[in-house]
Structure 1
Amino acid sequence: MSKYDPLENYLKGITVTLSYTEIEQILGSELPPTAYERDQWWANNTNNHTQARSWLNAGWKVRTVDLGKSVTFIRN
């Protein structure tokens, strides 16, 4: 056990919650209707969800979705 384990554990637990409006501002365009209607659109699965590559490639995964309101990401 390292004295730096607490820092590691803290960093692993960081989450980021973005509103749909914030995500659309980052994208510079609107999310598709399915992002508002289906939790599955936010799945951490690149086989059927090409949008998932953006957050997975950045080392994050979707933790929770409040449809039409916000998405919480956690370090992968």
Structure 2
Amino acid sequence: MSYSKYFPLENYLNQVSITLTYSELEEILGFKLPPTAYKREQWWENNTMHHPQANSWLNAGWKVERVSLGKEVTFVRDES
């Protein structure tokens, strides 16, 4: 398999993550997150069957990697 000389950039971008504070998320959304988003890590699961809010990040090609309840959420590119 041959790789483009630009493959390192593709590889880097696939590994980039973004961490948003709850305040930043609420500013983007335009409303306050529900209490369960502050109290339960399960609210952030990458499962659209039980957590329809997951559609917002999964449809954009991201998944939740880590949650610090009430503080911040880290998203990474979903390579599945």
TM-score calculated relative to the size of structure 2: 0.90
Q: Which residue number in structure 1 is paired with residue 6 of structure 2?
A: 4
- Structure 2 residues not aligned, in runs of 5+: none
Pairwise CA distance, 1:74: 0.6
1:29 deviation in Å? 0.7
Aligned match for 1:55, one of 50, 54, 57: 57
Give the whole-Å Cα distance in 1 for the aligned partners of 2:37 and 2:67: 10
Alignment: residue pair count: 76
- Whether 1:13 aligns to 2:15 is yes
**How far off its partner does 1:6 sit?**
1.4
Larger-gyration structure (1/2): 2
- Report sequence identity in percent: 64
- Any stretches of 5+ residues in structure 1 without a counterpart? none
Q: Which residue among 25, 30, 42 is the counterpart of 2:44?
A: 42
Superposed CA RMSD: 0.8
TM-score normalized with structure 1 length:
0.94
Q: Tell me the secondary structure at the aligned position of residue 68 of structure 1.
A: coil
Distance, in Å, in 2 between the alignment partners of 1:64 and 1:5 is 27
